């Protein structure tokens, strides 16, 4: 594929020493023509040492900021280095690099591309999928748009979104931010069908309790809190 966009893959990593090496190796072997950046989010294991030993480009955060904070650090880096596209990519092996070019291609006609597991197949009946449906409904109610996989962590943002995310406050890569950008910046969002793998190893940002809190927080934020944020200029660039 001829390189159209200057793309940065942002890989937030918290205690991912068991999976980071294989994740980066698969990424490099599959899409060697894009840049990547590991954001070590205050890990207490050997994550940062793996980055040093293998020569991975990385940011080393002094404390654990959480997924949103780690991603925002990467977004600021992308903005300062004039990238056209950033893609959020999990360090645990769940995101598959063969879909990266599909996400890049989608950004030719939209502002945000979401790697979606549920465009062409049902979600199932788990508690987590119930929460996903609630968030999907909240987004539809407030924006009019249906996003089938709002909690997917595989998201691509174009240059206009990079600037808004880098310079804005509380702009984590979360469903409430996506909802806010649709309303406040007239962001166009599309979903790209993808498959995802199971976590290879390591420690997830979420357990069942934190997942339930996350779903509740996202829903309340989409329905209420986002309406108190200022409107953004639709042509911010």
Inform me whether the pLDDT recorded for 235 exceeds 60. Answer: no
pTM: 0.91
Q: Which of 44-53, 137-146, 178-187, 224-233 has the lowest mean pLDDT?
A: 224-233
Distance (Å, rounded) from C-alpha 78 to C-alpha 166?
8
pLDDT digits (tens, 9 = 90+) for 148-182: 999 999 999 999 999 999 998 888 889 999 999 99
Sign of the four-CA dihedral 69, 147, 199, 217 = positive
- Is it the case that residue 91 has pLDDT exceeding 90? yes
User: How is residue 231 written in tokens?
Assistant: 């409107």
CATH, range 7-121+152-173+180-197: 3.90.550.10
Does pLDDT of 230 surpass 80? no
Mean pLDDT of the chain: 91
In contact, 87 and 156? CB cutoff 8 Å: yes
Q: Is 165 helix (H, G, I), strand (E, B) or coil?
A: helix
Residue 1 confidence (pLDDT) above 90 = no
> Closest Cα partner for 86 from 122, 39, 48, 130?
39
Contact predicate 6/84, CB 8 Å: yes
Angstrom CA distances, 121 to 96, 127, 167, 191, 237, stand at 18, 17, 36, 13, 36
The pLDDT value given to residue 231: 63
What is the tens place of the pLDDT at every residue in 115-131?
A: 999 998 888 877 788 89
Helix then strand then coil, in percent of the chain rounded to 5, is: 45, 15, 40
CA pair distance 194, 123, nearest whole angstrom: 13
């Amino acid at each position: 594929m001829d390189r159209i966009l200057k793309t940065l893959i942002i890989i937030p990593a918290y205690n991912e020493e068991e999976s980071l090496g294989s994740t980066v190796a698969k990424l490099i072997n599959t899409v060697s023509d894009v840049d990547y950046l590991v954001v070590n989010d205050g890990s207490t294991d050997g994550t940062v040492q793996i980055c040093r030993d293998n020569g991975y480009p990385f940011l080393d955060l002094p404390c654990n900021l959480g997924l949103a904070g780690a991603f925002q650090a990467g977004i600021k880096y992308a903005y300062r280095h004039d990238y056209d596209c950033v893609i959020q990519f999990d360090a645990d092996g769940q995101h598959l690099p063969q879909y990266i070019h599909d996400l890049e291609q989608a950004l030719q006609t939209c502002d945000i591309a979401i790697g979606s597991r549920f465009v062409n197949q049902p979600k199932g009946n788990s508690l987590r999928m119930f929460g996903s449906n609630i968030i999907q409904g909240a987004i539809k109610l407030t924006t009019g748009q249906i996003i089938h996989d709002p909690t997917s962590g595989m998201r691509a943002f174009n240059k206009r979104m990079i600037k808004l995310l880098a310079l804005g406050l509380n702009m984590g890569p979360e469903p409430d931010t996506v909802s806010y950008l649709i309303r406040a910046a007239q962001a166009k969002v599309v979903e790209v069908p993808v498959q995802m793998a199971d976590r290879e190893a390591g420690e997830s940002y979420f357990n069942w309790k934190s997942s339930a809190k996350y779903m509740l927080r996202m829903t309340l934020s989409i329905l209420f809190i986002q309406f108190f944020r200022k409107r953004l200029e639709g042509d911010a660039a």
